Amino acid sequence: MTPPRVLTIAGSDSGGGAGIQADLKTMLANGVHGMSVIAAVTAQNSLGVQGYWELPPEAVKAQLDSVLGDIGVDAVKTGMLASPVLVETVAEVLAGVAAPIVIDPVGVSKHGDPLLEPAAVDVVRARLLPLATVVTPNLYEVEQLTGVKVEAEEQMMEAAEAVLALGPKWALIKGGHLPGEPVDLLTDGATEYRYSAERHDNDHTHGTGCTLASAIASHLAHGEDVPDAVRIAKDYVTGAIAHGFALGAGIGPVDHAWQWRPLDVVQ
């Protein structure tokens, strides 16, 4: 039986912790067939991003046409798109896709390295976010997109309303950078859901944003509604963070395969 089909459109992470590599690992772990359109290539390891190179827009468009024209999709997830022309290229194609779309508006890496040109932010606002079933910004990305600076959980609804004003159906505001118990807020403007989780004492969290967005897309492809897809994805990511491991000399990745590890490894 063919599993649900999920397409990621993002950048490649040579260190394997985030980007396309994290997306495909997450999709496998969540029971879907992952496919990829590579929009950029990064030289990246546990210490940071040493460089990135965009693919030509015609190469990105050819990959999209190849997958969508033959295989099709049950959900789409976007990540690092880097430049205005790549955002425009992807948005033009996704405007004709009926499947759910999860937008992870990647602005910077876990290490603070910029991954989106300043000029591309306006294009993300105007062209990409209105196509989103769910958009999943962290607090830095909320400020980058809307100008709203969140410093306490009480401000998350204001942030969500500002994001929704840009056109997505649902906004998931990730509160992991706030002090205290991490809480994420999901809303469509009418209904509000809050997802809390234990904060794990683990510095190896590279790839959390990519992983969460890909897990949401996977469960939308399985037919879950948005609140349930987010809940299942949040539980998966929380486990992956709990079992993140050291790799290299810097920030290691979350463990995308934590559910498959022997008990003596994951406990």
Reply yes or no on whether 207 is catalytic: yes
Reply yes or no on whether 205 is catalytic: yes
Reply yes or no on whether 210 is catalytic: yes
Tell me the three-class secondary structure of the chain, residue by residue: CCCCEEEEEEEEECCCCCHHHHHHHHHHHCCCEEEEEEEEEEEEECCEEEEEEECCHHHHHHHHHHHHHHCCCCEEEECCCECHHHHHHHHHHHCCCCCCEEECCCCECCCCCECECHHHHHHHHHHHHHHCCEECCCHHHHHHHHCCCCCCHHHHHHHHHHHHCCCCCEEEECCCCCCCCCEEEEECCCCEEEEECCCCCCCCCECHHHHHHHHHHHHHHCCCCHHHHHHHHHHHHHHHHHCCCCCCCCCCECCCCHHHCCHHHHC
Among 15, 78, 210, 211, the active-site one is 210
Among 25, 110, 174, 234, the active-site one is 174
Among 42, 78, 136, 205, the active-site one is 205
Among 207, 211, 234, 244, the active-site one is 207
Among 78, 89, 208, 238, the active-site one is 208
Reply yes or no on whether 48 is catalytic: no
Among 107, 209, 244, 252, the active-site one is 209
Q: Which residues are designated catalytic?
A: 174, 205, 207-210
